[in-house]
Each structure stands twice: as structure tokens, then as C-alpha cells.
Structure 1
Amino acid sequence: MKEQVLRRINIVMYSEAIFSLEIFFAPIMIAFYLNYIGLSFQEMSLFFSASLITGWILEIPSGAFSDWFGRKKAFLLGKFIYLIGMLSLLVIKDFELLLVIAFILSLGSSMGSGNLSAIIYENLDTIGIEKDAFFRISSKAGSFGFLSSAIASILGGYLGTIDLRIPLILDCIFIFSTILIGWIFIEERSKSYLLKNNQGYSQELVLIKFKKAFVDMFNLTKDGFLLSIKNKKILFIFLVSSISFGILRTGFNFYQPIFEEFSINLEIFGVILAIFNVIAATTSYFAGKIPKNFIEGHGFIILSVIFLTISGFLVYFNFGFTILVGLAFAIHQIVRGFITPYISYSINKEIPVGSKSRTTILSFDFLMRAAIGTFIMTLSGIITTITGLSVGFVIVSFCGALILLFLCVVFQSVSKKKRMHESLATKNGNF
């Protein structure tokens, strides 16, 4: 029984990692929008902004919808919607219609976010497997995903020189493949809110059904929000997730322009990007072998603080050596490799087993990451216009390290006070 469930989980997790969204399209994405569709840089920026803002708006409602409707069905529906959006890019070049596609892509992405990890975590707990197995599986899947991205970054760039549509078509084939794999192998063991309350739906009028569905999803959102803000550990991990995502994603924006200052062309950059993905893959793989005590402590966060600080120093004191800059960026990839599975594991671990709001709670994490990440990216742009690219990267890395360290100190202080109060309450109760 356990072996069969684990086999299904591994197939789904590894296929999702290897066939990840836009794996071939990402290297040529900018060229596709500018050259194939024919957008101006301003129009392209507006398209990305519209997609991001729409994602913010849809993130929480889609999480509640998943918990209500069923996580597997919502996950597969989200992928299908995303596939429609990707295919539409092949034929639509009108800017107003592209904004509609931005909405479709955001809807598909937000419906899929958080569902798979919620299903896997619940399944592992149902069959009595230790919770840290989720971290090991996620880490190994992440390593496969990074390796796959490394290969695709080279292959996608090459195929894009032949025809910019080929990488996108390959991605669509991969998305369709993961829909089939998910349909066959994903096994959802916890019932959706809709199925749990199915008795009350059978004799109600259509209007009342919709009203009840809205109330149910509102309650799921409210429950998820209350649990998120009441559980200090979840709130702490949300903040760590948001800051680390914002710093790493913003840092990535500096790679190519800084390398260009060192006369590194796009072809060489593609190879370097592949190497970075291999580094992240290796880190993610070995992160899954770290002892449980280290995982459940703040070890990975402290490592992030140390590595981000070192990265900033290497860029600031590069002495004109490209290798030092490359090493600084590689250190960012090491953090990227271990922080993602750590955060996914830490959040799921704190959510009560069987919680009907699990996906909704995970959606709050994605919402905070999007909001804080966008703020950091915007602020870095302003800073860079004043300081220049290299100093801008240094400031981003140092600030990320300081904020993560501050969060650790504050959380430790709050946790210590809570333990002291609980200890005093226990002693007083004994008298």
C-alpha cells in the first residue's frame, strides 16, 4: 500500500519538476514577445504587469475554490486553462486580446499553485509516512527540475534561433503530458468541501447552490487567513518565503546585464545559465539528505544570510575578475536550491492535518511572495539607476541577508517569551 502510494507520488512530483511550465519558452520569452508578436518594450512590460496583478487578485479566491471544489480537479483545470493561454500566444498578436491572455495565464497559474504540494503532503500523512519524507521528495524533484531547466535553457535558445514558436509548442506538449500524468496518478485522499457537503446540494435550486458555494469559499478563505495570522510559525515562514523569493528573483535580473559589462555575450550566458541550474539541482538534491533537526531549526535561513552576504562582498570586491562575479551568482543558486523545498515543507508541516483550508493557506504564501517580490524588484530598479548595476546587486543581497537575520532574531525572541509564559502558567497551575 505504502509503496504504491509513494510510487504514484514520485511519478507525479518528478514529472511536474522535469516538465515544468515554460521550461523551453523561458530562454527566448523576451525575444518572442518583442520579435514574433511585435510588442514594444513598454507594451511587453504592461503585459507582464497585467499578468502579475491579476495573479495577486486571483490567488486567494483560487485557493479557496480548490479547497471547495477539489484540489486534483482544480489543479488539472488550472493546467488546462494555462495550456489554452499558451496556445493562444501562437495566433493572437493584438495587444488588447493579449491582455485577455494575461488574465487566462494568471487564472491557470493561480488555480494550480499550492494544490499539488497540499495533495502530496496529505497523502503521505494518511499512510503514516514521516513528514520529513515530503522534504526529501520535494528536494529530489527540485534537483530533477533544475537539471531539466539546464538542458532546456540551451535547447530552447537553439530552437528559438530556428523558429521562436518551436519552444512554446514543446512547452504546450509538456503541459498536456503532465495533465495526463496527473489525471492517472494523482490520488486525492481528503474529500473536497463540495463532496463533504454534497447532501445539502442535491435538493437545492441553482441560485441557492451558487450562494452556498460562495459562502463556503468565503468561509474557507476566512479560516485560512485566521490560521495564517494566528500561527506565528506560519507567518514567519511566509515572510522568509517572500523575502528570499524577492531577493533571488530580483538578483536574477542583474545576471545578464552585469555579465554584459564583462563582455559576456548571450550565447555564453546561456551556457552559464545551464551551469547555474545544475548547481541549484545539486544543492536541492543534497538538501534532502540534511538531518531532520537541521531542517526543522533555522539552519537553512542562517545559511541564506551567510551566503547572501558572501555573494554581495564578491560582487563589490570583484577586482575586475569575471570569475568572482560568476561565483557570487552561483551562491545565489545554492540558496535557490535549498530554500524552496525547505519553505514548502515548513509551511505544510504547520498546517493541521486534514485542514480543509490547506490550499487556501498556501495561496497566502504565493500572494505575499508576489506582492513583496514585486516591491523589491521595483525598488531595486530605482536603486540601480542611482548606484549602477553592481552596487545595486550588492545592496539587494545585503538587505536580503539583514532582513532574514532580523526575522530570525524576532521570531526566536517571540518564541522564547511564549515558552516562558507557558512554563509559568504550568507552574502556577500546579499550585
Structure 2
Amino acid sequence: MNLNLFSNIWKLYVIKASKWLMLFMPTIFLFFKENGLELHDIMVIQAIYSISIALIEIPSGYIADVLGRKKSMIIGTLFGFIGMLIYTFASGFWGFLPAALCLGIGQSFISGSDTALMYDSLVAANMKEKFIKFEGRSIALGNFAEAIAFIVGGFLAEISLRTPFYYQSVIAFIGLFVAFLLIEPPVSKLGNKKPWTNIKYIIKYSLVDNIPLKWNIIYSSVIGATTLVMAWFAQPYYAALNMEVKYYGIIGAVLNLAVAFTSFYAHRIEEKIDTNKLLIFILIGLCFCYAFLGSFLNYWGLAILFLFYLIRGIATPVLRDFINRFTPSEMRATVMSIRSFMIRVIFAIFSPFLGYVADVYSIQTAFNISAIVFFVIGLVSLIFYLKNEKIRLE
């Protein structure tokens, strides 16, 4: 075992924690409202954030494959730090917009690079079969960190809704510092072609030539967008219930602990449940939760949110593992970035519309539309994936 490369695991855990220890999240909806934004405005900012990720996602993944995962991680954590500083001192829609753009750029460079760096570090340490275990633990740690942030951030927000951002900037700087300590794992390199030629080759390989990988990426992206929309609808749902603000942090912490729990044991769940059945369960389970929340506006909805987050905890590491199985090491970061790109595109397309529906009609109407949209596009991609996977195995 290469112990130096294996040390990347704990460093990635620290960076993950620094990203997910989001002290501002318990009251982010209230923070935006205090600064004059409606839910539609919030969703527009998040859509722009997602578009900025989408535009840079694939090039940044390619940079990680060519120049190194470590350099990509450093760039990503640097922009994340700058974005937090801007949020700390900005106000209003146009003040928050550059902060969102910086965070989007930062997320683009980290997304895909962290997963690829972990997988290739485990390959070098002869432990690649342990990827889903360590990836699940990474996701679990991230959600434990977010759960703590929901509790601590709620107390900090009692000082002022801006106070959590001061502390967040320090946390972001810690992530940047640890990124410099990462060790670049040995990986195969792409041929000496022009960058855009290589990028086109990888896109064609993953979305045209490798049919099972193509539908795997599309299905995984739909599920990712499904969970991302819910993350931004949770607090408006609390508001619709007329819940006291002091409970936002507690409930947020519980939901993230739910993700942490199932992520931690995702590798065992995958071992015991047939892969195809697990994929079907994830789609039906998430969309059922949307439909329930759209039909009932009461405190039973909190139990359904808990179920949603339990399923989310299973979905993320399992779907990433499926993609890694089909992907060569020399293009792994770029392929994972393609997945993230598609998640952000789907989110950017639907979230402003869903935010508008919630403002003009109700949050329940937005939930019902989400259930229908995500189930239809998720089912289509899943059917094509299962069909082509069956052909591949025959």
C-alpha cells in the first residue's frame, strides 16, 4: 500500500467538511429575504450559479485530467474562499451574483476532481474495491458537517443573519490550505492532442460510444437535480408550515444526519440489493416524496423529507460508483464533470420556473410539478440504461 497516496483520503475528508460545514444554510432563505430577494430571485441566482458550474464543469474536469487533480482542487478551493468573502460583505441581488459566480467556478474545479483523486489514490494503494466505502464515508462526513452547521449556524444567526458568513470564510480558508497538502496520484494520460480535441473525444466516448455509460450519466444527473431542487425547497416548506425559525437548524441537522447514515452504509446496501432494483427504488422513492409533499401541507411532511434524505444518502455514492466502473482513469475527472454539468443544466432549466410557481401559486404546486417532471425524465433514462445494460451483458 502506498501510504503517502492513501493520506489523500483524510485530506479529501477535511476539504469535504470545509465545503459542507455551511454555517449560513440554516437561515439562507431568511438571509436572502432580509436583503430583498423573493424565492424566484433566489432560484435565479442559484440557476446562474448552476450555469457558471455547467459552463466550466467539463473544461475544469479536463484540466484536472491533464494538469493534475491537485491543481484543480487548489483552484477550486481558492475560488470558494473568494466567493465566501464576497457573500460576507455584499447585499442585494447584484451584490450576491458575483459571489455565486465565484462559488460556481470553485465548485466546477472541485467537482469530479475530488472523486477522481480519491479513486486513483485507492487504485495506487491497491484498494480500488474500497472506493464506494470511502466515498460513502466522505459523503457521510460532509452531511455530518452540514448537520453540525445547521445547529451552530442557527445560534450564530441569532447574532445576525450575516454572522455565519464571517466564520464561513475562515472555514473556506482551511479547505484551501489542506488542498496544497494533497499528493498527485499517478494516472494514465490522454494522447498529445489539442485540448478541445481531447474534450470532444471524451464527450463522444461517454455520451455516444459507450451507451451504458451514457444512460448511466443521464439517469444519475436527473437524480442529482432532483435532490438539488429539494435542498432549496426545504426551507420554503418550513415557512409554509409557519414553523418557528429556531427549529430550522434542528430539522436541517436531522435531515443531514439521515443522509450521513445511509451514505456511510451505502456499500453494504449495494451488496444486499440487486443493482437494477436499487436504481428503480431510488427514482420511485424520491418522486413519491415530492408527490406527498405536494398533496399534504402538515408536519407529517417532515417525516417524508426525512425519508427523501435517507434515499439521497444511498443514491449519491452508489451512482458515482456505477459511473466509475465504466470509465477509464485517464478521463475519469472529465466524465464525472460531465455528470455534474448535466445536473446543473437540468437544475438551471427547471428551478427558476419552479420558484416562480411557488411564489405565484404555492410550494405544493411546485412539488407536484417537480414529481411529474423528474419521474418522467428519470424513468425514460432508466429504461434506456437497463435496456442497454442487458444487451451489454448478453
Give the TM-score category using the shorter length.
0.7 to 0.9
State the 1:266 CA deviation. Answer: 2.1
Partner deviation per Cα, 1:328-387 (whole Å, 9 max, x = no partner): 11111012111111122121221113x1x3222221111110111222324434665787
AA partner of residue 139 (structure 1):
G
Root-mean-square deviation (Å):
3.0
For residue 121 of structure 2, the aligned residue among 120, 123, 127 is 123
State the 1:314 CA deviation. Answer: 4.0
Asked whether 1:326 is paired with 2:318, we answer no
Indicate the residue corresponding to 2:390 in structure 1. Answer: 416
- How far apart, in 2, do the equivalents of 1:89 and 1:145 lie? 21
Contact 2:136 2:267 in 1 (8 A): yes
Partner deviation per Cα, 1:272-294 (whole Å, 9 max, x = no partner): 11111111111111212235474
Identify if the C-alpha distance between structure 1 residues 252 and 30 changes in structure 2 by more than 3 Å, giving closer, same or farther: closer
Contact 2:50 2:345 in 1 (8 A): no
- How far apart, in 2, do the equivalents of 1:309 and 1:100 lie? 33
For residue 135 of structure 1, the aligned residue among 106, 129, 132 is 132
- Listed as ranges, the gaps of 5+ residues in structure 2 are none
For residue 334 of structure 2, the aligned residue among 360, 363, 366 is 360
Structure showing greater Rg: 1
Contact 1:316 1:391 in 2 (8 A): yes
Q: Percent identity?
A: 22
Aligned pairs (5 A) from 1:121-270: 121-131=119-129, 133-190=130-187, 216-229=194-207, 230-270=209-249
- How far apart, in 2, do the equivalents of 1:262 and 1:101 lie? 30
Identify if the C-alpha distance between structure 1 residues 170 and 192 changes in structure 2 by more than 3 Å, giving closer, same or farther: farther
State the 1:409 CA deviation. Answer: 2.7
Which range moves more in the overlay, 69-78 or 395-404? 395-404
Indicate the residue corresponding to 1:211 in structure 2. Answer: none
Asked whether 1:305 is paired with 2:283, we answer yes
Aligned pairs (5 A) from 1:67-82: 67-82=65-80
Identify if the C-alpha distance between structure 1 residues 39 and 123 changes in structure 2 by more than 3 Å, giving closer, same or farther: same
Identify if the C-alpha distance between structure 1 residues 185 and 408 changes in structure 2 by more than 3 Å, giving closer, same or farther: same
- How far apart, in 1, do the equivalents of 2:363 and 2:90 lie? 35
State the 1:114 CA deviation. Answer: 0.9
- How far apart, in 2, do the equivalents of 1:379 and 1:118 lie? 33
Q: Helix, strand or coil for the counterpart of 2:384?
A: helix
For residue 407 of structure 1, the aligned residue among 381, 384, 389 is 381
Identify if the C-alpha distance between structure 1 residues 172 and 314 changes in structure 2 by more than 3 Å, giving closer, same or farther: same
AA partner of residue 138 (structure 2):
A
AA partner of residue 275 (structure 1):
V
State the 1:11 CA deviation. Answer: 0.7
- Listed as ranges, the gaps of 5+ residues in structure 1 are 198-214, 421-431
Indicate the residue corresponding to 1:289 in structure 2. Answer: 268
Q: Which one has more relative contact order, counting CA pairs under 8 Å at least 6 apart?
A: 2
State the 1:164 CA deviation. Answer: 3.6
For residue 390 of structure 1, the aligned residue among 349, 352, 364 is 364
- How far apart, in 1, do the equivalents of 2:115 and 2:247 lie? 35
Which range moves more in the overlay, 118-127 or 308-317? 308-317
Contact 1:62 1:110 in 2 (8 A): yes
For residue 373 of structure 1, the aligned residue among 347, 365, 385 is 347
Identify if the C-alpha distance between structure 1 residues 191 and 396 changes in structure 2 by more than 3 Å, giving closer, same or farther: same
AA partner of residue 316 (structure 2):
T
- How far apart, in 2, do the equivalents of 1:145 and 1:103 lie? 22
- How far apart, in 1, do the equivalents of 2:271 and 2:125 lie? 20
TM-score of the two chains, using structure 2 as the length reference: 0.87
- How far apart, in 2, do the equivalents of 1:142 and 1:97 lie? 31
Identify if the C-alpha distance between structure 1 residues 128 and 299 changes in structure 2 by more than 3 Å, giving closer, same or farther: farther
Indicate the residue corresponding to 2:13 in structure 1. Answer: 14
State the 1:167 CA deviation. Answer: 1.7
Aligned pairs (5 A) from 1:335-346: 335-346=311-322
State the 1:34 CA deviation. Answer: 5.1
Aligned length: 392
Contact 1:11 1:185 in 2 (8 A): no
Q: Helix, strand or coil for the counterpart of 1:15?
A: helix
Identify if the C-alpha distance between structure 1 residues 57 and 124 changes in structure 2 by more than 3 Å, giving closer, same or farther: same
Contact 2:44 2:352 in 1 (8 A): no
- How far apart, in 2, do the equivalents of 1:95 and 1:384 lie? 19
